[in-house]
Amino acid sequence: MTFLQPWAAWFLAGLPVIVALYFLRLKRRSLSVSTHLFWQRVLGENSRRAFFQRLRQWLSLLLHVLIFSILVAALARPLLRQAVHSGASTVIVLDVRARMQAVEPDGRQRLDKALDHARALVRQAGESRQFALITLDAAPAVAVPFSTDQKPLLDALDAIRPTDTAGELPAALRLADSLLKSRGGDGQIVLLSDRTPDDPALIAPAIATPRDNLAITRFATRPLPADPATSAALIELQNFGTTPARTELELTLDGRTLDVKPFALQPGERRLEILPGLTRPTRAAQGWLTARITADDALASDNIAYATLPPARLNRVLLITAGNSFLEKLLAVDPSVKFQLIAPEAWQPALAEKFEAVIFDSTLPAGFDFAQAEGNFLFLKRTPFSTTRQLDHPLVTGIDPAHPATRGVSLQNVSIVRATALTPPASGGWLSASPLRSFDDALLITGTRGTRRFAALGFDLLESDLPLRVAFPLLISNTLHWLAGDTASALPAAQAGEIIPLTGSQRAASEPLTSAPSGPLPAPADARFLQPMKNGFYAVSENGGTRWIAVNTFSAAESDLRVPATSVRASAPSIFATGPLPPWQWLTLVAFALFTFEWWLFHRRKTE
């Protein structure tokens, strides 16, 4: 026997009060009589049965104490260990992935049906039946741990909203298993999903029927290398139905229709389409690119896809070099760069303000004070951060693929004759990184402080074969764009449910936009990461500017609504069977019966 509310035992301190009240004299009504003669005879007759009289008094006290004790015991909510161990511990795994938004022929969403099942289940929660709730979206999570109380379970179910995420069902089942193993007694898992694995241990009410669906499964843009002002879009359509489907694809940019294209797909067919010639918008525009197919199918969320088209930007770059043909040619052919070349002697600190980036190639002007200099700098070979440690033929052992400067850069087998180990500035409040390393030595360091940025490369380009590698223009372009504050490529399109880390200066809105906002943008949340659960455009604000992240589901598994019929099993009747009353209710009934008995005894004057 265990007690769920053992604190109720404190009420037993009231027992002496009951006993004291019992022994207090009754305030009797005074009544004048002519004689006690006959009353005494009658009471004398009673006193001959004094033993039974005392027994009646004690019986009354006993009944009162018993009733009080039983009520206290009921308040403590006792639970038989047998009930605890043998009672059903049920884990409800509720699928809230994107596919659960599919509409069934009866017009209801699969998620709504699943929620109805879940509510019916948790209303059976009690001392002998405990429920835990696991939700599955991008990752399984315990929404409510094992509880015998219906309220938190129902509240959690009421708070559940559909998501556009894809997720792994086995992970949710493993979590449910581990939850069950933490409990004794019988356990069972109820899976409320439209598609369940063929596991006889699972209880899975049927909530879905096979449905046809046409979906956009991929949508991305990239600038054309030949013309940075123009981008191309890649779009993939897939027919998950059993019949041929015809649709029209409408492409809009910031609400303006760019193109409408018809498609006809056979059952199961996947179609890739590249849409070139998308003019990049100006900086004032949002760059929202939306693809929408006109399909009246079961799942609407995959009929629309979002992508961003970064505004075109022409960065002004000042190159200070004694001569570097590789670099000069590279900057000359980069359409996003407008550069100016000056000799080291011509350097004036005031020049930096006129350029988004300044490149010091193998030179550092005399008297250059980095701490005081304004502007964004790229130092090549000679840097303010060079140490005396020389590296001969250093091997590139570490590249940070997430860093904006080295994203997409492959420096495998790059030969470097010599390099100087770099040390990030220890003072000045710089936020430094070393995205390119040779073992413990930094070959490339970057730093940001407010709007100021710098990058320093610890070797001479001409003393390496890097200029001959494909990575060279990418590394220089990435670095210049990053120095210029152009981080359009730093926040790529994301999948719903994906965790996107934010830097300290970045703030992201927690709710997406799918159409141009008429008022102010949603207030950004103060969080270190963003996990978008719905598709759309998420605003990320940084340094007074706003950029957009396009979030999509893009999961064939979520869009494929053809549920194998064999995987759906009827629910076990035992889980829905009405169980016996919990002990506290039995105790309350017993107390009520005893109270009625005592009341009857009192009015029959069997007790006093």
The site for another protein (CB under 8 A) is made up of 26-43, 45-46, 605, 608
Q: How crowded is the C-beta side of 498, counted as CA atoms within 13 Å? A: 18
10 vs 38 by CB, closer to another protein: 38
- Measured from the CB of residue 65, what is the shortest distance to another protein in angstroms? 21
26 vs 350 by CB, closer to another protein: 26
32 vs 413 by CB, closer to another protein: 32
- Measured from the CB of residue 20, what is the shortest distance to another protein in angstroms? 19
44 vs 200 by CB, closer to another protein: 44
- Measured from the CB of residue 64, what is the shortest distance to another protein in angstroms? 17
CA atoms of 99 and 298, how far apart (whole Å): 9
- Measured from the CB of residue 603, what is the shortest distance to another protein in angstroms? 9
43 vs 593 by CB, closer to another protein: 43
- Measured from the CB of residue 14, what is the shortest distance to another protein in angstroms? 24
41 vs 283 by CB, closer to another protein: 41
CA atoms of 255 and 289, how far apart (whole Å): 8
Instruction: Kindly list the distances between the CA atom of residue 454 and the CA atoms of 273, 358, 450, 523, in Å, as whole numbers in the listed order.
Output: 40, 9, 11, 31
Write the CB contacts of 583 (distance below 8 Å, at least 6 apart in sequence): 74, 77, 78, 79, 80, 83, 127
29 vs 181 by CB, closer to another protein: 29
**Can you list the positions of beta strands (E) in 60-186?**
78-79, 88-95, 129-136, 140-147
177 vs 608 by CB, closer to another protein: 608
Q: Is the distance from CB of 534 to CB of 138 less than 8 angstroms?
A: no
CA atoms of 435 and 458, how far apart (whole Å): 12
- Measured from the CB of residue 44, what is the shortest distance to another protein in angstroms? 10
Instruction: Kindly list the distances between the CA atom of residue 293 and the CA atoms of 33, 215, 259, 362, 577, in Å, as whole numbers in the listed order.
Output: 102, 8, 12, 54, 46
**What is the Rg, in whole angstroms, of the alpha carbon atoms belonging to the chain?**
38
Write the CB contacts of 47 (distance below 8 Å, at least 6 apart in sequence): 53
- Measured from the CB of residue 186, what is the shortest distance to another protein in angstroms? 56
- Measured from the CB of residue 92, what is the shortest distance to another protein in angstroms? 59
Sequence-separated contacts (24+) of 604-607 with Cβ below 8 Å? 606/56, 606/59, 607/56, 607/57, 607/59, 607/60, 607/63
271 vs 606 by CB, closer to another protein: 606
- Measured from the CB of residue 37, what is the shortest distance to another protein in angstroms? 6
Q: Is the distance from CB of 347 to CB of 367 less than 8 angstroms?
A: no
36 vs 181 by CB, closer to another protein: 36
| Six token digits for residue 56 | 């009646």
54 vs 256 by CB, closer to another protein: 54
- Measured from the CB of residue 581, what is the shortest distance to another protein in angstroms? 38
48 vs 256 by CB, closer to another protein: 48
- Measured from the CB of residue 25, what is the shortest distance to another protein in angstroms? 9
CA atoms of 541 and 521, how far apart (whole Å): 10
For residue 226, what is the DSSP state?
T
CA atoms of 102 and 214, how far apart (whole Å): 12
CA atoms of 125 and 441, how far apart (whole Å): 60
50 vs 366 by CB, closer to another protein: 50
Q: Is the distance from CB of 199 to CB of 186 less than 8 angstroms?
A: no
CA atoms of 38 and 43, how far apart (whole Å): 8
Strand, coil or helix: what is 470?
A: coil
- Measured from the CB of residue 55, what is the shortest distance to another protein in angstroms? 16
Would the CA dihedral through 343, 349, 355, 359 be positive or negative?
positive
Per-position DSSP letters for 237-253, written without gaps between them: EEE-SSS-EEEEEEEEE
- Measured from the CB of residue 604, what is the shortest distance to another protein in angstroms? 8
